[in-house]
């Protein structure tokens, strides 16, 4: 009796009953077949979320479930849950090689995700690594401003060319495509998710040691897109001491854990203000860093102070000029967390 898979069937149930269909979902660009999202979404919903051709997907699922080969779908090994799909499936230029992709998340707005993303990029670049930043905060981008990058990316044969900072960091940000940097991006979730995927797959990133992804607040469309559609190696969680922020950050941590992502470390921003006498004033209250370390099982990479200098440098587009002891601690601990050898020369 022939198997019949329909678009209204739940993804997880299809894969559980017909394990061979995993390669079809992956081949079409729907990688997260075993996560909590796949346990709830139908084939049609998954196709819509990832902007796929549902009819073609269902057709290939039925072919494979009935012992036939789906056209153009190679029998691939299953991608690790939470790590997304291979670069060539996403449509990135074949010569593009990105060694590590790290997402910077929080769930809470205003805690300094973009600042931490920028500082990590600067730290890695200073150690001789090739770095890119994908600004996933489509409706509130700030990475280009931090690095003083202006202009619109050009289109080449290999895709969109990211702009480069003074120090050589490659950057893709929505502000680069707006007539005016203050123009709003009034988009619904699916369009935001589509833009993030395009920034990844349509850009000519070339060879990178690290691609850092700066994500907006929340635990819905944008973070889900990154966790499900990009081959993310791990996540950096950014928080601040006040309990209100910490409670919301915990939601983000639980989301990453639900999607089987790897948390590389925690950064506590605005942890204190250094007073003229050298003492520390914990303006937002005592640190909650240890609680987050216990919850994630990941190290506390740094406690960053409130520093007027970094605020001025970011406003001036000169984040690459920043230096401090706390910054050096963040840089060193981040590289250690990935066990990446430092390049010299």
Q: How many CB atoms lie within 10 A of CB 93?
A: 18
Least Cα distance to 66 among 17, 11, 33 occurs for: 17
Three-class DSSP category at 218: coil
pLDDT digits (tens, 9 = 90+) for 82-126: 333 222 223 333 345 898 999 998 878 888 899 999 999 999 998
Residues in contact with 191: Cβ distance below 8 Å, sequence separation at least 6, in sequence order? none
pLDDT digits (tens, 9 = 90+) for 187-219: 777 788 888 888 888 889 999 999 999 988 877
CB 209 within 8 A of CB 133: no
Tokens representing 299 are 């190290």
Average pLDDT over residues 294-317: 90
- The highest-level CATH class for domain 11-78 is mainly alpha
pLDDT digits (tens, 9 = 90+) for 281-298: 998 888 888 888 888 888
CA angle 146, 207, 158 (to 5 degrees): 95
* Distance in angstroms (rounded) separating the CA atoms of residues 3 and 17: 11
Least Cα distance to 274 among 237, 314, 309, 321 occurs for: 309
| pTM score | 0.70
Any idea where the domains of the chain sit in the sequence? Answer: 11-78, 89-338
Residues in contact with 77: Cβ distance below 8 Å, sequence separation at least 6, in sequence order? none
Tokens representing 24 are 């079809």
* Distance in angstroms (rounded) separating the CA atoms of residues 61 and 251: 34
Instruction: Please state which architecture CATH assigns to domain 89-338.
Output: 3-Layer(aba) Sandwich (3.40)
Tokens representing 196 are 């993030």
């Amino acid at each position: 009796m022939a198997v019949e898979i329909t678009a209204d069937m739940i993804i997880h149930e299809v894969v559980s009953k017909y394990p061979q269909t995993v390669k079809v979902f992956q081949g079409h660009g729907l990688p997260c077949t075993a996560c909590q999202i796949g346990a709830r979404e139908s084939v049609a919903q998954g196709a819509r979320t990832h902007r796929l051709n549902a009819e073609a997907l269902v057709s290939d699922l039925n072919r494979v479930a009935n012992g036939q080969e789906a056209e153009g779908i190679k029998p691939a090994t299953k991608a690790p849950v939470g790590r997304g799909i291979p670069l060539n499936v996403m449509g990135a230029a074949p010569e593009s090689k990105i060694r590590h992709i790290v997402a910077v998340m929080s769930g809470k707005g205003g805690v300094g995700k973009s600042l931490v993303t920028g500082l990590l990029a600067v730290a890695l670049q200073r150690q001789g690594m090739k770095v890119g930043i994908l600004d996933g905060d489509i409706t509130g981008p700030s990475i280009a401003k931090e690095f003083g990058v202006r202009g619109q990316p050009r289109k080449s044969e290999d895709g969109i060319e990211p702009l480069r900072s003074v120090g050589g960091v490659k950057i893709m940000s929505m502000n680069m495509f707006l007539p005016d940097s203050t123009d709003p991006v009034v988009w619904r979730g699916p369009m935001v998710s589509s833009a993030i995927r395009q920034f990844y797959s349509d850009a000519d990133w070339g060879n990178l040691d690290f691609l850092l992804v700066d994500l907006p607040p929340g635990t819905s469309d944008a973070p889900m897109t990154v966790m499900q559609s990009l081959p993310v190696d791990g996540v950096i969680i950014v928080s601040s001491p006040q309990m209100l922020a910490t409670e919301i950050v915990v939601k983000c941590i639980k989301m990453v854990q639900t999607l089987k992502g790897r948390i590389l470390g925690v950064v506590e921003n605005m942890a204190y203000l250094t007073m003229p006498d050298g003492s520390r004033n914990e303006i937002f209250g005592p640190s909650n860093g240890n609680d987050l370390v216990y919850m994630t099982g990941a190290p506390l990479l740094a406690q960053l102070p409130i520093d007027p200098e970094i605020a001025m440098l970011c406003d001036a587009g000169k984040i690459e000029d920043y230096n401090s002891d706390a910054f050096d601690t963040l840089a060193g601990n981040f590289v250690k967390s990935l066990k990446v050898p430092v390049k010299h020369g």
